[in-house]
Amino acid sequence: MLEMKAMITGISGPVLTNDEKAFITEHKPWAFILFARNISTADDIKALTASLCEVSGRDDIFIFIDQEGERVQRLHPPLAPNYPTAATLGAIYKKSGSRASCCLDYVTASCF
């Protein structure tokens, strides 16, 4: 069993560098977070994900994308829809909790 560290780390670009590969191999982070610098095309994201799995020695790693909505959108159409902000979801919740729940279900489902 691999001894993972309770750490989430970012990557410098769309492809792992040799230094990043060495860091991942040595420190065994639990998960990774992607930012705009890591995201270009769907194929590039798949390749980076495959590299992260290969270098980490795991196929069950967590990969997060910092996607907050409105100005902080790392994924754009056609890769993913534009997402509402947390403030927008909060305003929807104030009017109708069940409608806000449907919005959150949509956002979560469209991520997979």
Please return the burial class of 68, using the count of CB atoms within 10 Å of its CB with bins 0-12, 13-18 and 19+: exposed
> What is the H or E stretch that residue 17 is in?
none
Q: Using CA atoms, how far apart are residues 68 and 74, in angstroms rounded to an integer?
A: 8
What is the pLDDT, as a whole number, of residue 98?
A: 58
pLDDT of residue 112: 42
Give the residue ranges of the chain where pLDDT is below 70: 1-2, 4, 67-73, 76, 96-112
Q: Please check whether residue 69 is in contact with residue 88, taking contact to mean a CB–CB distance below 8 angstroms.
A: yes
pLDDT value at residue 80:
72
The reported pLDDT for the residue numbered 100 is 53
Q: What are phi and psi of 102, to 5 degrees?
A: -65, -40
